[in-house]
Structure 1
């Protein structure tokens, strides 16, 4: 649900399907990752408060039904903390049954926020951040132009956890291609172990029209993984995730990009999840007509 006619497409995580989508920015301030074309058609801009207030006012008739709000577009935490606090305080006053405000965040946005700023945002109602780690491998991050290295990417996630805000980390299976698959999975597992997120989502790489990665594939510079190989990579990743016994990390692979939907709680269900992945790999190995262009969106 959203009340906006500004330019550009609207994206949100699967778990925000019934949330009020409040667009506080347009597009993504980085907008340079080689695998992504989500916001390539629009220029990034932050939204003035009158545009934000207009959306909130349009949602007021539904105030008693709105329990969750997602701040869009691609990285709401790029906004100055004072402005975010103004927005969060307005939301808490307007929606009496509000339980959670969430948003996407990029690593540079998180690194720019001090611990005190993040704590203030938490206290004002920011309860969940979706963070695209994508990979924990320096070379893969460099190749996809994420804008940070592994150490910075890990620190960004750790800052959210330390602030007491729930963190949903997203990683992309297949992002390193065949050449960097092993380093991608092993170093991503190490990054997850260092961050200790509350939720972990594994997406599957898709080759999007208009993305540099699709052009690299068509020039023969990038070799994507077949579905069974993706499952092999996912098995390697989960095998390497070692969280404390008292952890409660929800794992999901229910994005539209995934070949098979998987769900578990880590570390409790790790062995069963690995069994499910092995079964999925056997099933997908039977697919003989797979073509990389099947993954072009």
Structure 2
């Protein structure tokens, strides 16, 4: 298996075989992201991908999970993607799940019937970056869609039967808009009602526009204590029964995991103890 450039996948896909069906990200303009800046977006040919699936089948026939990368593989033409899904399912008889990165743009490009047909073809879960529910923050970071557009995309994808995992980024509003970020992200998640919510903590990468803003002083990063209090506000506002909540990524100052709403009080108590005891992960460990 030969990959082009650095390949990324969600933490929950750590044990998956990654099929790099697209190169880069179709949007690739977010001010905080440097993941695909060295790539020009393109979709690999179906024949090339089919050959790769068959080669991997010979080497690893017992693969249980497959993740389709790069940053926005849902942009693949629906009929081509359905064909790839069928090839994956036919090739790995112990297969449990196929996942994919999605974007508001790629979801909007599909009709409801197309999304349903992808679910029926075997697409089990899609990962969608909400980042923030605050319209002003979405505009500033050049997410490429509005709050309403992302909410609509998430609801449509979930309605198709495909499980939906939403990602949000703590600290993305900086010191100026931390409260709006927490409250409006919670309300957006409550409206979408995804199956999973992954909360990362902002890490500013050198070379991004956000890095320049931090260096110039126009964007002020949250301290660990401020980030924890922002997360506390988010948790207090979330009302999404059955939501699997994870904030235990390497970037997070405090590791949290549970299922809402039943674990909300436990998560809040855990976070409050960390604030009181200053029990935050050391900065040097956040990039491991």
Q: Pick from 268, 276, 286 the counterpart of residue 282 of structure 1.
A: 276
Displacement after TM superposition at 1:111 (Å): 1.5
Is the counterpart of residue 263 in structure 1 residue 257 in structure 2?
yes
Match of 2:2 in 1: 4
Is the counterpart of residue 223 in structure 1 residue 220 in structure 2?
yes
Q: Pick from 57, 69, 74 the counterpart of residue 72 of structure 1.
A: 69
Match of 1:177 in 2: 174
SS of equivalent to 1:64? coil
> Within 5 Å, which residues of 2 pair with 1:133-212?
133-212=130-209
Match of 2:40 in 1: 43
Q: Is the 8 A contact 1:209 1:296 kept in 2?
A: no
- Partner Cα distance (1:73, 1:231) in 2: 31
Q: Is the 8 A contact 1:135 1:188 kept in 2?
A: yes
Q: Is the 8 A contact 2:170 2:227 kept in 1?
A: yes
Displacement after TM superposition at 1:62 (Å): 4.2
Q: Is the 8 A contact 1:254 1:262 kept in 2?
A: yes
Q: Is the 8 A contact 1:207 1:295 kept in 2?
A: no
Is the counterpart of residue 19 in structure 1 residue 19 in structure 2?
no
Runs of 4+ off more than 4 Å: 293-297
Match of 1:120 in 2: 117
- Partner Cα distance (1:77, 1:283) in 2: 44
Match of 2:88 in 1: 91
Match of 2:248 in 1: 254
SS of equivalent to 1:264? strand
Displacement after TM superposition at 1:92 (Å): 1.2
- Partner Cα distance (2:56, 2:287) in 1: 36
- Partner Cα distance (2:98, 2:23) in 1: 18
Is the counterpart of residue 234 in structure 1 residue 228 in structure 2?
no
- Partner Cα distance (1:53, 1:209) in 2: 37
Is the counterpart of residue 102 in structure 1 residue 96 in structure 2?
no
Q: Pick from 12, 31, 34 the counterpart of residue 31 of structure 2.
A: 34
Q: Which runs of 5+ in 1 are unaligned?
A: none
With over 3 angstroms needed to count, the CA separation of the structure-2 counterparts of 1:270 and 1:294, relative to structure 1, is closer
Displacement after TM superposition at 1:253 (Å): 1.1
Displacement after TM superposition at 1:295 (Å): 7.2
Q: Is the 8 A contact 1:229 1:281 kept in 2?
A: no
Per-residue CA distance 1:196-236 (angstroms, 9 max, x = gap): 01111100000011111000110111001011111100000
Q: How many residues align?
A: 288
TM-score (norm 2): 0.95
Per-residue CA distance 1:61-83 (angstroms, 9 max, x = gap): 24532111000000111111111
Two-structure CA RMSD over aligned residues (Å): 1.9
Q: Is the 8 A contact 1:137 1:188 kept in 2?
A: yes
